[in-house]
Amino acid sequence: MSVLLTLFCLPYAGASAMSYARWRRSAPAWLEIRPLELPGRGSRAGEPLASDLVDLAAQLARELRGETYRHYALFGHSMGSLLAFELACALRAQGLPAPRALLVSGGSAPAHRDYLRFRQPLGDEQLMAELASLQGTPIEALQDPELMRLALPVLRADFLLCGRYRYQPTAPLQCPVHVLAGTEDRASQAQLLAWREHAGAGFSLELFAGGHFFIQEQERAVLDHLIACLAATLPGAAAVRPDSHFLCKGAT
């Protein structure tokens, strides 16, 4: 079967495109997983780190211009959820085709986030304490001085990227919005349901057991859910998911 849809994936704070490498090996043949690399990390390590999230989204939209004329969707976790939303807005502002769906994970709706604690640069100890509290970084990595020396500047810049972001009200997107969250994560149900304001064609909220990094703890269940939501957006959807047991609430 040929590829029917591309899912562009935006990383969480401090991460690179490699954070979605395992997903590429687990996707069905009709779905292409395309992690997007951000400036200052991975294959783009030679570029300066971004300092404005809206500008970064506009840059990514220009880079993806030629790839939006086939079926695609956007996914982001944590910081990536905010960036995926702003990318969808930037693509619309540049007159490009809308995604088939916006899938956001581990983050409150843009107008309902608490940005205060990330508005100023955090010191190394503060950053490491934040990493430990999120429980997404192995203890061995936190105790590796050389690894932390490389990782902390990227993480600090990403936290600032979020902390200095200011949401500007905009019209709902012309696609469904599907929200994924961990039952033990910080976002309240009200903060998650507020994503509905941005859904112009259907909305769903799915909870998974776990904390902020439930996408690692529940990887197979998360992938199955994403695949079902994406398949439902395609013409002839039943043909591409004969064994799926997930239904996306409000999908169109």
**Per-residue pLDDT tens over the stretch 146-190:** 777 788 889 899 999 999 999 999 999 999 999 999 999 989 999
- pLDDT at residue number 247: 35
- pLDDT at residue number 140: 72
pTM of the model: 0.89
- pLDDT at residue number 131: 72
Pairing mode of beta strands 72-77, 5-10:
parallel
CB proximity list for 194: less than 8 A, separation 6 or greater:
108, 109, 111, 112
Report in angstroms the alpha-carbon separations of 78 from 1, 153, 210: 32, 18, 14
Q: Among candidates 234, 248, 249, 241, which has minimal Cα distance to 100?
A: 234
pLDDT tens by residue, 199-210: 999 999 999 999
Instruction: State which residues of the chain have pLDDT below 50.
Output: 238-239, 241-252
User: Token pair for residue 83?
Assistant: 């960036």
- pLDDT at residue number 146: 79
Q: Rounded mean pLDDT of the chain?
A: 88
Q: Mind giving me the DSSP string for 174-231?
A: SS-EEEEEETTSS--HHHHHGGGGGBSS-EEEEEESSSTTHHHHTHHHHHHHHHHHHH
Catalytic status, residue 188: no
d(CA 14, CA 41): 9
Question: Nearest 5 degrees, angle CA 60-CA 40-CA 148?
Answer: 140
User: Token pair for residue 225?
Assistant: 């859910």
- Amino acid, single-letter form, for residue 115: Y
Q: Which of 2, 19, 43, 78 is catalytic?
A: 78
